[in-house]
Structure 1
Amino acid sequence: MADGSNGKPGQGLLGDTENHARVRTTALVIIAFAVVLFMLVQARFLLISLAVAIILFALTSDVIRFIARQRIGRFGVPNWLASIAALVLISTALLVLSSILLAQLNTVLVTTVSYAERAPSAVASLFGWMGEDVETAVFNSLRSVEISGYVRTVAGQAGNLMQGTVLVILFVGFLFAERIWFDTKMTNFFEDEGQAARATKIITSIIHRVNYYLLVKTVVSVITGAMIYVVAQVFGIELALALGILTFILNYIPNIGSIVATGMVALVGYVETGDAQTTGILFLITGAIQFINGNVIDPWMMGRALRLSSFGIIMSLAFWGAVWGIPGMFLSVPIMVMLLVVCSHVPELRKVAVLLSREGLPEDEQELDRLAEEIENRKG
């Protein structure tokens, strides 16, 4: 036959139609991804604040329930009063933490400017063993770097921290106001109590895993920051407190944060002391602390709660870092946890969950039910 379709007229036309449909679908997916990516970049300040507010709201939901269960004589604490109390606590904690962070960051920036003149010569001297030409080349390269420009950029971003804090507090307040109607909205949205209950279990699993990750990460980061502060004090470093606080913050960035913190401590130590041997010892001690806490204590405490692929974490870190900058790096793991749990329970996306999970064994329905039952028993 002339149509080359095994003697069936129209079969070739049908195949062409299917190919056109696939091409059209692929094009629409690419366009939709580009539009979403554009919106993520353009509205990143608002979306970052909203993401942080959702995480804080999830973290404090149990606190609200705890306050609401308290009784004063024969009277219990109303839910609205418990929500207001939790919101006041969150607002106070956020404002205090933001003030401390800004103060320490300001100290580091001012000291950086004062160290800017002697930092190139101090770093270049590390390459003296390679010859005078190499040392001179390194010195000239570092001297051409505009430290003040970077300092102004960081200071400008830090200035947005307090604005973001206020916006996060507003978002959390509105989420608290809406929480009492959440179950009703879920039922009306799905128009099926069974589907609404399953969606609630999935959300509960996400909240539980993100909360557990943040709890473990906070404990490990506090221990690491405190140890770095003690080591810096022993070596007589002027910025010991600032280095401890910044180490605590950087440890929330997976993998890269601990490397940056270790290099930062060593660099500050060398600029202050000017002794390569002392700096080497400081670098080894700091690196050992980061290695033990990050590769022994952290995985031991995490256990099987996350089951995230290491390669997936790096990819998520790179993507959200490119889209949202440093805040995106902090949020990369919670966002990946959310994607893993959601994809685990959507049949069409199950293969994505297999790729994102560590052993290729994402959460199943039995584990979802077990976790929901465990959380309900804990609430009771």
Structure 2
Amino acid sequence: MVIDRPATRTPRALVVLLGAAAVVVAIAGIKAVAWLAAPTLLALVIVITLSPAHGRLRRFGFPRWAATTALVVFVYGILIAFCFAMIVSIAQLAELLPRYGDRITDLYEEIAGVLAKFGAGPGQLRDIFHALDPGKLVSYAGSLLADLTGVTTSLVFLLGLLLFLSAETADIDDRIAGIAGERARTAEALRDFGRRVRVYLAVTTVFGLIVAAIDLLALVLLGVPLAALWGLLSFVTNYIPTIGFLLGLGPPAALALLDGGWRAMVAVVVIYLVINFVLQSLIQPRYVGNAVGLSATATFVALVFWAWVLGPLGTLLSVPATLLALAALVDDPGRSWVTALVGSPGGIRTG
């Protein structure tokens, strides 16, 4: 006589513990290969964004190879031009900073007089002057230039990856359709991921161009040196959610102080606070949140998390990386609460 034993259920606490351990291991693995994961995700985002253009070129009668080549050349041109502009601008900055040695000394004496009234000692004042030493500033600029030059290896890897991914663009719809039969939710989640990434980049790029143009015009009118560099920096930092304008504010404000004094610096700060803060931190997140289905809080947390995991590129890829993670969770109805928790009202669907 065979006695059927009742099936034992795994304790929920153990399931949660194992799941948390798996997540920690996965995150540690991604962080360990961030040098590979970040450029790969960037290449994937670029290809997904341009995939509709590939289809349009095909409908206009372009052969597949010609459409792919046109998109690859277009992306290559933008990336190379951007890197060249950054390297030239940083080199100009390194050449410009030594001219402000006397101005930095005057600022030190002025600041020292103010701080002395509040009880700052000579040792503290020397530390401040050491931090403002023109030689150190030039060294920082030179180090930044060396870092940008060292990015060449990563850029070559990214360009090669873009070439291979672009060649696969034409088949992506067929591949997603191939899995729709067995995993309809996964296929729909992948399509939705592509759509949301394209909308996010479109909205962010439009706002970035508006903000960069206004900042550039204001800096030119104020006579701030290297206004084009700071306009480009403002455009790039627009892809960093919530705090991007702060990262783009520091360098032009500091240079305005050295070149035009306190009034020029205050003018730059006020302009950035009014324009960049209102557009980038108040208006843009609402459009981005509605477009991609992420709340402002979730977007900020994602920024901090992906910057820690993927490094500097993680700040630019925080929203696409989060959307990809959510797309992976959508296929499991038991995890749909995650998308509901981090989504904005009317954003991500929970099934």
TM-score by length of 1: 0.78
Deviation at 1:53, TM superposition (A): 0.6
Task: Rate the CA distance shift 1:208–1:85 in 2: closer, same or farther, 3 A.
Answer: same
Equivalent residue in structure 1 for 2:84, among 86, 99, 116: 99
Equivalent residue in structure 2 for 1:39, among 16, 29, 33: 29
Q: Which moved more, 1:44-53 or 1:280-289?
A: 280-289
Distance 2:108 2:323 in 1: 40
Per chain length, whose mean CA-contact separation is higher, i.e. which structure has more relative contact order (CA < 8 Å, sep 6+)? 2
Preserved CA contact (<8 Å) 1:98 1:165 = no
Distance 1:360 1:65 in 2: 29
- 1:254 aligns to what SS in structure 2? coil
Task: Rate the CA distance shift 1:307–1:26 in 2: closer, same or farther, 3 A.
Answer: closer
Provide Cα deviations, 1:146-183, integer angstroms capped at 9, x if missing partner: 54664454334312333222222211221232334445
- 1:134 aligns to what SS in structure 2? coil
- The amino acid that maps onto 1:97 is F
Provide Cα deviations, 1:95-119, integer angstroms capped at 9, x if missing partner: 1222112222333344346557754
- The amino acid that maps onto 1:308 is L
Preserved CA contact (<8 Å) 1:262 1:283 = yes
Give me the identity figure in percent.
Answer: 22
- 2:151 aligns to what SS in structure 1? helix
Preserved CA contact (<8 Å) 1:209 1:306 = yes
User: Corresponding residue for 1:7?
Assistant: none
Equivalent residue in structure 2 for 1:233, among 188, 207, 220: 220
Structure 1: unaligned runs, 5 residues or longer:
1-9, 71-75, 366-380
Equivalent residue in structure 1 for 2:247, among 248, 255, 260: 260
- 1:83 aligns to what SS in structure 2? helix
- The amino acid that maps onto 1:107 is Q
Distance 1:316 1:205 in 2: 19
Distance 2:122 2:226 in 1: 29
User: Corresponding residue for 1:363?
Assistant: 349
User: Corresponding residue for 1:217?
Assistant: 204
Q: Which moved more, 1:142-151 or 1:301-310?
A: 142-151
- 2:345 aligns to what SS in structure 1? coil
Distance 1:44 1:228 in 2: 33
User: Corresponding residue for 1:329?
Assistant: 315
RMSD (CA atoms) = 3.2
What number of residue pairs does the alignment pair up?
A: 342
Preserved CA contact (<8 Å) 2:186 2:328 = no
User: Corresponding residue for 1:122?
Assistant: 107
Task: Rate the CA distance shift 1:125–1:353 in 2: closer, same or farther, 3 A.
Answer: farther
Preserved CA contact (<8 Å) 2:225 2:255 = no
Deviation at 1:131, TM superposition (A): 3.7
Provide Cα deviations, 1:247-279, integer angstroms capped at 9, x if missing partner: 111121111110122233222111112x32332
- 1:108 aligns to what SS in structure 2? helix
Provide Cα deviations, 1:8-30, integer angstroms capped at 9, x if missing partner: xx99xx99x955x844x555445
- 2:239 aligns to what SS in structure 1? coil
Provide Cα deviations, 1:279-334, integer angstroms capped at 9, x if missing partner: 22332122111123224552565472123122212211111112222211111111
Preserved CA contact (<8 Å) 2:90 2:141 = no
Structure 2: unaligned runs, 5 residues or longer:
none
Matching of residues 61-80 of structure 1 within 5 Å: 61-70=51-60, 76-80=61-65
Distance 1:129 1:166 in 2: 50
Q: Which moved more, 1:136-145 or 1:348-357?
A: 136-145
User: Corresponding residue for 2:234?
Assistant: 247
- 1:304 aligns to what SS in structure 2? helix
User: Corresponding residue for 2:278?
Assistant: 292
Equivalent residue in structure 2 for 1:168, among 158, 176, 192: 158
- The amino acid that maps onto 2:247 is V
TM-score by length of 2: 0.83
User: Corresponding residue for 1:56?
Assistant: 46
Distance 1:336 1:243 in 2: 29
Check if 1:155 corresponds to 2:149.
no
Check if 1:339 corresponds to 2:325.
yes
- 2:203 aligns to what SS in structure 1? helix
User: Corresponding residue for 2:305?
Assistant: 319
- The amino acid that maps onto 1:45 is W
Provide Cα deviations, 1:38-74, integer angstroms capped at 9, x if missing partner: 332332122111111101101111111111111xxxx
User: Corresponding residue for 1:369?
Assistant: none
Distance 1:299 1:27 in 2: 34
Distance 2:252 2:175 in 1: 50
Task: Rate the CA distance shift 1:360–1:81 in 2: closer, same or farther, 3 A.
Answer: closer
Equivalent residue in structure 1 for 2:72, among 74, 81, 87: 87
User: Corresponding residue for 1:5?
Assistant: none
Larger radius of gyration: 1
Distance 1:226 1:361 in 2: 30
- 2:291 aligns to what SS in structure 1? coil
Equivalent residue in structure 2 for 1:134, among 110, 120, 142: 120
